[in-house]
Each structure stands twice: as C-alpha cells, then as structure tokens.
Chains A and B, each alone.
Chain A
Amino acid sequence: MSVLELRGLTKSFGGVHAVRDVSFEIGAGEFLAMIGPNGAGKSTCFNMINGQLAPDSGDILCDGKNIAGLAPRDIWRLGVGRTFQVAATFGSMTVIENVQTALISHARESYRLWRPAASRHRTRALELLRQVNMQDAADRPSRELAYGDVKRVELAIALANDPKLLLMDEPTAGMGASERHGLIELVKRLVVERGISVLFTEHSMDVVFAFADRIVVLARGRLIADGDAASIRDNVQVREVYFGTGKTFAGASA
C-alpha cells in the first residue's frame, strides 16, 4: 500500500525544467532514497511534496487525496513532515522549546494566550529528544549546537506530529562519514520501530546502498530509474549519468 503517489509531477523555473513528468510511489514503512547529480531536481520534488512550491502540473496523492498546491502547514497536518537541506532550528529557543513548539502546534494550541508554554508537552518532548539522543542538551540554546546535533533536533521536531511520511533533504550534508552512518542508522531504526515511511536524498552511495529499501534516480528533472539496490547498480542509464562525477558504485556493499 502506498503512502504517497506522485503522478506526472512537473515544474519549471523560467526556461529551466527542474522536474519533468516524475511519477513514483512511496510504500508504507519504506525507506526510499532519491539520488541524482546536483541540479537534478531533488529539492524541487521535496518542495512540491511538502507544499512549498506548487507544481505546474501533475498530482500528489496522499491516501488518495490530491495534495498538490496545498500550503505546507496543511500538508504537515496530513502527516507529512520534513527536514531541510540547510538545517536550522528556531535559534532563539532552547532545544526542548523547539520540540515543544512543534508539539503545541500539533495539538492546535498555538493561539493559546495564557498558560505558559514551558509546562506543555514537556514529557513528550523529552521522550522525542531521547529517541534522537539529545535529551542531555534539552535546556541548551539551540543555536549553540554543533551542526550534526542540529540535524538530530530537526529530526525530533519532524517527529512531533507522528508523521506517516518523513521527507529528509540531504539529512547528512556537511557530516563526516561516521556521523553520517550514525544518523541514517538512527532514522532507519525509527522507520522500523514506528512504521514511518521516509523519502531521503543522499550523496554518499555507500549509505544509500547500505540502508535504502528502494532507490529512485533523477537526472535533469526526469526519473530515469526506480528499483532495489542491485537493479540500480546495474542500470546502464544510471551509470551514464554518474560517469565522470567521481562516484563509483564498485565499493558499495549491498
């Protein structure tokens, strides 16, 4: 059963066809990687799914409902969360306040004017921070965190509304190899434990082939391949696209 289905998704900026006629499905509980060279249209796809951009044409079906063109906040309420390529949190808040703000929004309490926010959903927020191993930093100002920790906090925020689908645009950008594996492992664990589906982009082929259940490949806005690690590795078109970019699939372990 699919959580999300893209049908003929298309978007261009001026003359640039960023995304052209892209269709694929994301299954329930699936850990799906989207790969492709820089400028392939990955972020644009993410932005259309989460509502930041309206597609020129095409449908985005979520539980059979077309969500293309809805506002990000409405799509979030339907259970589609996201993290951003350039990670950041609400810098004027502590780590736990960041998560509480998301929980408050999820509980539709953002317009409450009286009872202090600090006491709201604190236990649940701590629990989420524990899941991403950030509980010890709960009361630190979030802007003081190291970049890798910011990514974890973003993940905790994204989990606040019990999403059924999580979109993660380059969650490991700017991370070292071991940190990268750590984060993806953590996400993978959450996928398995909570039954969430995750669509993520990632530049490290090692990581992709090691963890992804399935892989879709984008190049110049078009979907050129969709399948499991073995079929992608053997795909001639994919090899062509990556030829000369310095990335080899040779060392990738399945």
Chain B
Amino acid sequence: MTLNAFLFQILNGLSAASGLFLIAAGLSLIFGVTRIVNLAHGSLYMLGTYIAYTFATKIGGVTGFWGGIVATALIVGVIGALIEIVLLRRIYRAPELFQLLATFALVLVINDAALWLWGPADLLGPRAPGFRGAIEILGRRLPSYDLFLIVIGPLVLLALHLTLSRTRFGRLIRAATQDREMVGALGVNQAVLFTSVFALGAALAGLGGALQIAREPANLATDLIALGDAFVVVVVGGMGSIPGAYLAAVIIAEVKALCVGIGVVDFGFVTINFSKFTLVAEFLVMAIVLIARPYGLLGKAQGAVRSIAEPEEPIRPATPLLKALGAVVLVLLVCLPLLAQSTYFGSPYLLVLGIDVLIAIIFAASLHFIMGPGGMHSFGHAAYFGLGAYGAALLVKWLALPFGAALVAAPLLALAGALLFGWFAVRLSGVYLAMLTLAFAQIVWAAVFQWEGFTGGSNGVIGVWPPPPFDKSWVYFLLTLVLAVAAVLLLRRVLFAPFGYAMRAGRDSALRAEAIGIDVKRVHWLGFAIAGLICGVAGGLFAFAKGSISPETIHINRSIDGLVMVLLGGVQTLTGPIVGASVFAVLQDTVMRQTEYWRALMGAIILVLVLAFPQGIVGAFAALWRKAGGRT
C-alpha cells in the first residue's frame, strides 16, 4: 500500500468512525445512567434509517432529507421515551440477565414491526442534497458526504461534552453515572432523569441511522449489525464514557479500514486476504481490550450492580415422585418410534421433532450448568454448539472420519474452545462476562462465515449424513435419547458432587469461597469447560440430524434461544432447562413455523417471562406446590 492509499484509508476510517460513534454514544449514555444494557439500541438505529427514508422519499427535496433527519431523531427519541416508561421502568431492579432479555425481546418486536410497516425489501434513500459530489483528495475521489460525516462525529462529541459539563441536566447525568445513590439524595426526580436520558440516547441512535440513508439502504438486518458495532465500541471505550466511545470508534473503524486497504498480502509461504478479517477484527479488538482492561479504555470499574434475584433454594436430590415422573417420560420417549409409526396420529415428523427437542435439552442443560449453579451468564453458548457441529461436519468432509469418531471428536473440539475462551471469560463477571462470551461467539461465527475455503462460508457444509443404521430416523432418535439422558444425568451428578458445591460457593460469594481455599476462577473455568464439552455433543448430533450446517448454527440468535429455554423452565431448578428446552423446541417447530411474524411472537414470550414469570415454568409450579402444602 502506498502512503497516499494508506492516508486515504485513514480518512475512510474516520467517516465510518463517526457513524459508529453516533450509535455507541447513546448506548453508553443510557448504560451510564440507568445501568441497563439496551440491546434494542441497534433497533432504534434501524428505525432511524427507515423513518428517515420515508421522509426523504415521501416529502423529498432538501426539507424531506435534512428536515427529515432532524424529525427522525426527535421521533426515535419519543419512541425511546415510551419504551423507557412502558417497559424499562419495571425492570430497573431486576437481575441483569432479565434486563438483557427484555431489551432483546424489543429487538425482535421492533424488527417485525419494521417488516410489517416497510416490507422485506432493502430501501435505498436519495443522495444528500448539497453533498452529491466528490472531492479529490490524495489523488482519489472522496464523496463529499463522507467528509461531512467525518466532521459530524467530533461535532456531536463536542455538543455532548458541552451538555454534560455546562448544563444542570448534564451535571445530573454525570452524578448519576458516577454515583447512583447520590441522585436519590439530591432529591431529583429520578424517573424524569432516566426517561430523558433514554430519550436522548434513542435520539442519537435515530440520528445515526438517519444520516446513513444517503450511503446505505435501510435493511432489516441492520439492527443486529448496528448493535454489535455499538457494543464493541462501548465496551472498548468503557461503558458510560462518551470520549471513550469516540476513541474506540476511531480505533475500530481504522482497524477495519486498514484491513480492507491492505487487502491480499503474499507472505511467500502463505497468502492472507486481510479484507476478510473485517468481521473478526472488531470482536478481536474487543476481546483484547476486555482482557487487558476489563472496564474499557477510558472506563472506570463499576461498583458491582447487585442483582436482586429471588434467593435460591438449596438443591435437593430428586424426590421419589420426580424420579417416577422421569421414568414415565423416559419410557414414553423410548416408545416414541412406535408411536410415530402408528396409523392414527403418527407421523415421521414426530421423530424429527423428538430429535430437535432432545438436542435442545442437551444445549439448554449445559448452558444452565454455568448460568444457574455457576452464575456465569454466557451470551455466546452457541459458540460451543457451533464448534461441535462444524467440528463433526468438517472432520467428515475433510478427513473422511467415520461417524462415531466424528461424534466423539465434536465435543472435544468444543471443549478446546471452551477451555480457551473460558479462561478469559471467568476473569470477568456480570454484563462484562456476557459481552466477552458474546464477542468470542461472534469471532467463531465470523471466522466460519469468512473462511469460505475451509468452512463453506455462508453456504455451510452439506451432505453430512450418518451411515446405516443411523440413517433411519428412529435409530438416530434412540441414539440422541441415550446421549441426552447421559448428558443430563452427568451434569446432575457433577452438581451434587464436591465440584458442584465449589462452583455454587464461588457464585454465592467469591470472596468467602476464596477464604476457604477454593480457587474460584479455576473452578468456574472448569465448569465452563464441562458445559462446552456437553454442548459440543449437542452440536455434533445436530450436524448429523440435519445433514447440513451453516453459520446460522453459531448465530447470536441461537445463544439467545438457549437463554430463553433456561429462563422459560426456570434458572433456579435442575429440571427447569429440560422443561424449558422441550417447550421452546416444540413451540419453535410448530407455532413459529406457522407465522411470518415469529420474531414478535418470540419477543412477546420473552417479555411475559421476564415481567410475569421470572422464576420460569418449573419455578412457578414448585412455588404453587409449596403453597399447596406439598414438599418439593
């Protein structure tokens, strides 16, 4: 790359940085004051693109475009205020995990709302009036709108800085960010402060989205992409720090721009195409920063945000009633292949559904193992599922490994991944652990997605079928059943063994666990690894059950599905993940396939869960049972 080309890429990076900063600043502001990690922030950004598109095309001209951008920011701000008043107010004191899930439910609902309002097609807006041309810089042509964007980022930074330092509102925001108790002590109406901060953050996201329509089409996938970008920037810059957000936005945008600029490099022994690293690059930056500076570049250590969860009951061995129930279910499951062949209500689909449910149970049980007893809320459990699935499929494809060997190797690969990622993840806790696990999962996803030659890229791997007799679905079903039962019993066994006690002790109070000789990080690391291993079994089974896999296997949606399964059943019970996974998998395979708007449905389920049933199905039943005078 010549010096000029290099400098030009730097300019490109700066204009991208402004976009990143606008999305991230609002998220950071909201987190700083309300301590809520708003996963719907990308959705507000996406709404900004659609609303601005509507103004620019329906009204048109300078008013439609520039006036539309201002109007969009205001409208999205109002939407943000409504979200805060209707939903978030109810969950400020809920455990972090529930806040994350509630805002993710919003992501799903908003996405379907946009689908309903604007349809599935990409919508390209007009060029910006007044900035249609390009300017010659460094021997290349830079669109003048990009130059405008380069300027707008620092301008917004300056405006925010002045607001924060010179106004009463700003002083309140800073006070709330630094010391939450103080706000109450000042006698400020906290509700008004929170609503206005949320509105301001949302307006910034809307503005960021609106400014993009001159460059990129409005698209239904923008919400998660913008969210991912915003997160990385906020986490790298330090949650709650606005200058940190700008610094991080510049670093990440420049790293990406340089990856593109460098392009293909021939090192003699190996040729690397750096432009393929763009997706991985940002998550790599985030992982490195989280490991070296857990609170971000300019962030301060946050006082532990104590989640006020229902205190947990001691775990007890299964009662005779529960054991009998388990045995009955098991017998029914063993008979399922016969049932599937019966003439009346049987259908071969029953076995496919059965296999899906069993795989979901292994997945959810392994996630519950670290989430419940381990207290580690992984937002990237799909990584180990994906490692298992891709491990099995690629071993068959490239090394022609036999079925059995591939099934054994799959969990080992997941174990290796969990050992590597877990070592870093257990050094953090709460939201930061959630973000780092998410980052690792995204790295795996991006690697699989972009490493086309090896993984098949977005097409995935096809034709991974099991050999006879496992090609018959009833045989494969029974194999899955055996492995699922073994996995569930094994995890239970470990929880009742000393290791399970040590893991819970570390979760209940790391300080006290350390003071009685328990190496909490090491125990949690091993717990993380065990969960990864078992999750890999699910992944391997999944690959052979479907016969093909794609990067979707590792998508963030799968990680969230796992969280929903565990919460649906009840995170504080051992049977919870089994019930939750079963109900979820059946719902997904039946109801959700029927409607185009399954996301909104799913979002509604999550919201009901979080707001009305925080203890999950099994938890709710157990509470009813206790009330009725029974013993659990």
A residues apposed to B, CB below 8 Å = 50, 52, 71-73, 76-77, 81-82, 84, 88-94, 97, 100-102, 104-106, 109-118, 120, 141, 143, 157, 160-161
Picked from B494, B496, B499, B516, the residue with its CB within 8 Å of the CB of A160 is B516
* B499 contact set on A, CB distance < 8 A: 110-113
Cβ–Cβ contact A90 & B512, under 8 A: yes
Q: Decide if B501 is an interface residue (CB 8 Å cutoff).
A: yes
Q: How far is the CB of A138 from chain B (nearest CB, A)?
A: 12
- In the complex formed, the residue of B with least CB distance to A100 is B501
Cβ–Cβ contact A105 & B497, under 8 A: no
Cβ–Cβ contact A52 & B496, under 8 A: no
Q: Give 5 closest A-B pairs by Cβ, nearest first.
A: A92-B312, A90-B508, A110-B502, A105-B517, A102-B516
- In the complex formed, the residue of A with least CB distance to B572 is A92
Cβ–Cβ contact A97 & B314, under 8 A: yes
Q: Decide if B500 is an interface residue (CB 8 Å cutoff).
A: yes
Q: Decide if B132 is an interface residue (CB 8 Å cutoff).
A: no
Q: Decide if B5 is an interface residue (CB 8 Å cutoff).
A: no
Cβ–Cβ contact B496 & A117, under 8 A: yes
Cβ–Cβ contact A109 & B518, under 8 A: no
Q: How far is the CB of A163 from chain B (nearest CB, A)?
A: 11
Q: Decide if B279 is an interface residue (CB 8 Å cutoff).
A: no
* A161 contact set on B, CB distance < 8 A: 516-517
**Distance, CA A97 to CA B511, complexed state (A):** 17
Q: Decide if B514 is an interface residue (CB 8 Å cutoff).
A: yes
**Distance, CA A102 to CA B526, complexed state (A):** 19
Cβ–Cβ contact B497 & A115, under 8 A: yes
Cβ–Cβ contact A117 & B516, under 8 A: no
Q: A92-B508, A113-B499, A161-B517 are in contact. List 4 more A-B contacts (CB 8 A).
A: A89-B512, A105-B516, A110-B517, A120-B498
**Distance, CA A55 to CA B523, complexed state (A):** 27
Which residues of B (10-27) have their CB < 8 Å from a CB of A?
Answer: none
Cβ–Cβ contact B517 & A106, under 8 A: yes
Q: What count of chain B residues pass the 8 Å CB interface test?
A: 31
Cβ–Cβ contact A82 & B515, under 8 A: yes
* A97 contact set on B, CB distance < 8 A: 314, 501
Cβ–Cβ contact A76 & B502, under 8 A: no
Q: How far is the CB of B493 from chain A (nearest CB, A)?
A: 7
Picked from B508, B511, B517, B519, the residue with its CB within 8 Å of the CB of A93 is B508
Cβ–Cβ contact A105 & B515, under 8 A: no
Question: 30 A–B contact pairs at CB < 8 A?
Answer: A50-B515, A52-B511, A71-B514, A73-B515, A73-B516, A88-B509, A88-B512, A90-B509, A91-B311, A91-B509, A92-B313, A92-B504, A93-B505, A93-B508, A101-B502, A102-B516, A104-B498, A104-B501, A106-B516, A109-B498, A110-B517, A111-B498, A111-B499, A112-B497, A115-B497, A117-B500, A120-B498, A141-B314, A160-B516, A161-B517
Cβ–Cβ contact B514 & A105, under 8 A: no
B residues apposed to A, CB below 8 Å = 311-315, 317, 493-494, 496-502, 504-505, 507-509, 511-519, 523, 526
* B509 contact set on A, CB distance < 8 A: 88, 90-91
Q: How far is the CB of A168 from chain B (nearest CB, A)?
A: 12
**Distance, CA A84 to CA B511, complexed state (A):** 10
Q: How far is the CB of B371 from chain A (nearest CB, A)?
A: 14
Cβ–Cβ contact B314 & A101, under 8 A: no
Cβ–Cβ contact A101 & B501, under 8 A: yes
**Distance, CA A161 to CA B518, complexed state (A):** 12
Q: Which of A52, A72, A143 has the most CB of B within 10 A?
A: A72
Picked from A101, A109, A111, the residue with its CB within 8 Å of the CB of B516 is A101
**Distance, CA A94 to CA B312, complexed state (A):** 11
Cβ–Cβ contact A104 & B313, under 8 A: no
Q: How far is the CB of A63 from chain B (nearest CB, A)?
A: 18
**How many residue-residue contacts, CB under 8 A, span A and B?**
113
Given A92-B508, A113-B494: A73 and B314 within 8 A (CB)? no
**Distance, CA A160 to CA B313, complexed state (A):** 24
Cβ–Cβ contact A91 & B515, under 8 A: no
* A111 contact set on B, CB distance < 8 A: 498-499, 502, 523, 526
Picked from A71, A91, A114, the residue with its CB within 8 Å of the CB of B497 is A114
Picked from A77, A84, A116, the residue with its CB within 8 Å of the CB of B512 is A84
**Distance, CA A105 to CA B513, complexed state (A):** 9
**Distance, CA A105 to CA B315, complexed state (A):** 19
Picked from A50, A71, A90, A116, the residue with its CB within 8 Å of the CB of B496 is A116
Q: How far is the CB of A10 from chain B (nearest CB, A)?
A: 23
Cβ–Cβ contact A113 & B497, under 8 A: yes
* B494 contact set on A, CB distance < 8 A: 113-114
- In the complex formed, the residue of A with least CB distance to B508 is A90
* A93 contact set on B, CB distance < 8 A: 314, 501, 504-505, 508
Cβ–Cβ contact B526 & A101, under 8 A: no
- In the complex formed, the residue of A with least CB distance to B507 is A92
- In the complex formed, the residue of B with least CB distance to A98 is B505
* A102 contact set on B, CB distance < 8 A: 516-517
Cβ–Cβ contact A73 & B496, under 8 A: no
**Distance, CA A113 to CA B503, complexed state (A):** 11
**Distance, CA A216 to CA B116, complexed state (A):** 74
**Distance, CA A100 to CA B502, complexed state (A):** 10
* B500 contact set on A, CB distance < 8 A: 117
Q: How far is the CB of B599 from chain A (nearest CB, A)?
A: 35
- In the complex formed, the residue of B with least CB distance to A111 is B499
Picked from A72, A106, A115, A118, the residue with its CB within 8 Å of the CB of B515 is A72
**Distance, CA A81 to CA B517, complexed state (A):** 10
Q: How far is the CB of A179 from chain B (nearest CB, A)?
A: 22
* B513 contact set on A, CB distance < 8 A: 90
Q: How far is the CB of A231 from chain B (nearest CB, A)?
A: 33
**Distance, CA A73 to CA B511, complexed state (A):** 10
Q: How far is the CB of B314 from chain A (nearest CB, A)?
A: 5
**Distance, CA A90 to CA B314, complexed state (A):** 10
Cβ–Cβ contact B498 & A143, under 8 A: no
* A115 contact set on B, CB distance < 8 A: 497
* A84 contact set on B, CB distance < 8 A: 511-512, 515
**Distance, CA A161 to CA B515, complexed state (A):** 11
Q: How far is the CB of A191 from chain B (nearest CB, A)?
A: 20
**Distance, CA A249 to CA B315, complexed state (A):** 49
* A92 contact set on B, CB distance < 8 A: 311-315, 504, 507-508
**Distance, CA A102 to CA B502, complexed state (A):** 9
* A91 contact set on B, CB distance < 8 A: 311-312, 508-509
Q: How far is the CB of A29 from chain B (nearest CB, A)?
A: 23
- In the complex formed, the residue of B with least CB distance to A99 is B516
**Distance, CA A120 to CA B501, complexed state (A):** 12
* B514 contact set on A, CB distance < 8 A: 71-73
* A118 contact set on B, CB distance < 8 A: 317, 496
**Distance, CA A88 to CA B516, complexed state (A):** 13
Picked from B314, B496, B511, B523, the residue with its CB within 8 Å of the CB of A110 is B523
* B313 contact set on A, CB distance < 8 A: 92, 141
* B497 contact set on A, CB distance < 8 A: 112-117
Given A88-B512, A91-B508, A101-B501: A110 and B518 within 8 A (CB)? yes
Q: How far is the CB of B512 from chain A (nearest CB, A)?
A: 7
* A88 contact set on B, CB distance < 8 A: 509, 512
* A101 contact set on B, CB distance < 8 A: 498, 501-502, 505, 516, 518
- In the complex formed, the residue of A with least CB distance to B373 is A92
- In the complex formed, the residue of A with least CB distance to B523 is A110
**Distance, CA A26 to CA B102, complexed state (A):** 54
* B517 contact set on A, CB distance < 8 A: 73, 76-77, 102, 105-106, 110, 161
Cβ–Cβ contact A105 & B518, under 8 A: yes
**Distance, CA A118 to CA B511, complexed state (A):** 23
Q: How far is the CB of A30 from chain B (nearest CB, A)?
A: 22
* B502 contact set on A, CB distance < 8 A: 101, 104-105, 110-111
Q: How far is the CB of B574 from chain A (nearest CB, A)?
A: 12
* B516 contact set on A, CB distance < 8 A: 73, 76, 81, 101-102, 105-106, 157, 160-161
**Distance, CA A120 to CA B498, complexed state (A):** 9
Q: How far is the CB of A62 from chain B (nearest CB, A)?
A: 15
Q: Which of B499, B500, B523 has the most CB of A within 10 A?
A: B499
**Distance, CA A185 to CA B47, complexed state (A):** 68
